[in-house]
Amino acid sequence: MTETALLRWIVFAPLLGAAINGLLNRRLPRQLSGLIGCATVGVSLILSIRVVMQLAALPVEDRVMVDIVGRWLSFGDLHLDIGFLLDPLSAVMILVVTGVGFLIHVYSVGYMAHDDGFQRFFTYLNLFIFAMLTLVLGENLPLLFVGWEGVGLCSYLLISFWFDDDVNADAGRKAFITNRVGDFGALLAMFVIAAVLLPQLGEGEGVFSFLTLQHHAAALGGVATLASLLLFLGVTGKSAQIPLYIWLPDAMAGPTPVSALIHAATMVTAGVYLMARMNFLLVLSPVAMSVIAGVGIATAIFAATIALTQTDIKKVLAYSTVSQLGYMVAACGVGAFKAGIFHVMTHAFFKALLFLGAGSVIHAMHHEQDMRVMGGLRGKMPVTWWTMLVGTLAIAGVAPLSGFFSKDEILYEAYLGAHGGFPWVWLIGFLAAGLTAFYMMRLLVLTFFGENRASAEVQSHIHESPWTMTLPLVVLAVLSFGGGWIGIPEGMGGGAWFQEWLKPVFAGGHGAAHGAHGGHHDHTLELVLAAISFTMALIGLGLGYLVYARRPGLAETARNWLGGGLHRLLNNKYFVDELYGTVIYRPLRAVSDVVMFRWIDRGLIDGLLVSGSAVLTLFVGSLLRLFQNGMVRFYAWVFALGVTVFTVYLTVGG
């Protein structure tokens, strides 16, 4: 095991940037504030590349680096350190977080150039990167949870950045509260693990360390299912799975760089990372794995159908994110942790590209987000058009772009992971892939094809975004195109280098979970399934182009044929928010108003305790005031009476 102090500076560099921008704020010039924000994340990126190269130089069995900063707390037998752990899994994550995060910081310099809260925005961005790096590099579960809560706080600050608008403020509160529900489950999971392992391990030194947990997870026995399901409750919040996905589409109220940061490289991938990190626990419970696979693939198809009818360009991408996260979660559920992390990486490239491309369009359209008033932007915004085309083909799963290899790997593993019968996870994922291609082509056509449908004033100002915004788009387009080549499987002529890199972290994971194929790949089957997926992507793209570019009337005809009710159902997102409002929000609000506010707060606390003590004090004071009337004769009489009573008491007592 190798120790290195560089890990702490990967984490602390963005925190330093947040401190400088936060403390000096408007006293800093905008250019300097943006430079500090970008430079500190750039330092983390450079250091990340360096330590990953050091890690790669180590023998496969020794690829672990630990940096213990110091003792965090000691409580009885429990001792926790502030420490950071680098292994092949966290190495992938820090490169994604710092790399994509750096590009989003650069993009933000142009996008937020004229915003009054420029310095505050970069403070929050840096703080977000710090929290995410704490999460992925944390050496133990409680420290990971600190980063977990940190990204939740930063998401609230960034989503509601323009808090003077009620929509933004409400979206920030919704994200924060929804995530707290899931976080409660993750916290309970830690309590369950501690309750079982602390008595068995005795001295609690490192009981929550991932290296210790990995060696002693089997000692959890039957409690592993409970701990896994509680952890997964936290995942449904952070990674936006059914039933706690509702915050993510509303998070689009924040600035577009925030949407890219949350949806691509940071917060929403935290849940997938947690499952990958705790894979040794999850594989102990087939029940939990089945639940995870079922929820993940259900979320994938559910969100994909909603995206079909959305007209807000960022809402389409938001539901697309929910759907893609469903793929990643389902991959973990079938034991394909390496495939899930592979898709985390490629998704970070093309989803950041698509959100930043959408931001470029919104910037050019004077903050208009409705695709129905866009169109005809290909000629006026060529860089944005070509890069978003690459992103669309990548997320649709077109070979040889990055999304094809990662999505194909998930579907292949899902097919093999099915225990007999029909591989239902693969089938639903296959259908969701076709829907993804269709609605992404719809987005592309409505935005860039045909005639522009905006007002003449808006059209006169449409132009390509500045280089600070287009340069990140070009870099992300290159990564979206070729970023998946490091994971080309052997059956397609590649070396599966990404999977080999992660193998030490997940050794035995898939076999332990399902025992389906014990790591053996049927190359013929893999090629057949890949060909089917690729064909489905082409069909989806072709249908999208036909319906919205060549035969626009087909969409209206299809709506009428299917019935307006189905379109209304999808357009209103299955009325899930309304259902939650009726079943959860309004009853809780009524209980809070009647019981907590009127009875307990106003009646018991204000009425009895506060007002009651005041009345009692007033009453006692009024009685005592009778004895303080200023009359000497009265005082003498009371004194004589007191002496008499005291004398009688002494006489009788004697």
How open is the CA angle 278-280-283, to the nearest 5 degrees?
A: 105
Burial class (CB in 10 A: 0-12, 13-18, 19+), 173: middle
pTM score: 0.88
- C-alpha span between 206 and 227 (Å, rounded): 19
Provide the 10 A C-beta neighbour count for residue 200: 10
- C-alpha span between 297 and 424 (Å, rounded): 9
Give the model's pLDDT for residue 512: 39
List, in order, residues 6 or more apart from 592 with CB less than 8 Å away: none
Looking at the structure, tell me whether residues 536 and 620 fall in a common domain. no
CA distances from 612 to 401, 603, 615, 619 (A): 72, 10, 5, 10
The partner residues of 86 in beta bridges, in order of sequence, read 65
- C-alpha span between 360 and 355 (Å, rounded): 9
- C-alpha span between 336 and 413 (Å, rounded): 6
3-class secondary structure, 72: strand
Low-confidence residues in the chain, pLDDT < 70: 1-3, 202-205, 265, 418-422, 507-521, 561-564, 653-654
Task: Provide the number of structural domains found in the chain.
Answer: 3
How do residues 503-516 score in pLDDT, each as one tens digit?
999 864 433 344 34
| Cα-Cα end-to-end distance for the chain | 85
Looking at the structure, tell me whether residues 258 and 383 fall in a common domain. no
Looking at the structure, tell me whether residues 559 and 590 fall in a common domain. no
3-class secondary structure, 519: coil
List, in order, residues 6 or more apart from 200 with CB less than 8 Å away: 216, 219
Looking at the structure, tell me whether residues 275 and 318 fall in a common domain. no
Q: Which two tokens stand for residue 481?
A: 């195109």
How open is the CA angle 38-43-44, to the nearest 5 degrees?
A: 100
- Domain assignment of residue 648, given as a range: 576-653
Write down which residue in 549, 567, 585 finishes a domain: 567
Looking at the structure, tell me whether residues 223 and 329 fall in a common domain. no
How do residues 361-393 score in pLDDT, each as one tens digit?
998 888 889 999 998 899 899 999 999 999 999
Give the model's pLDDT for residue 561: 67
Looking at the structure, tell me whether residues 188 and 238 fall in a common domain. yes
Where b means 16+ CB within 10 Å and e means fewer, 288-314 reads: bbebbbbbbbbbbbbbbbbbbbbeebb
Looking at the structure, tell me whether residues 136 and 148 fall in a common domain. yes
Give the model's pLDDT for residue 288: 93
Looking at residue 83, the DSSP 8-state letter turns out to be: E
The partner residues of 82 in beta bridges, in order of sequence, read 70
- C-alpha span between 149 and 157 (Å, rounded): 13
Give the model's pLDDT for residue 459: 83
C-alpha of 327 from chain center: 15
Looking at the structure, tell me whether residues 246 and 317 fall in a common domain. no
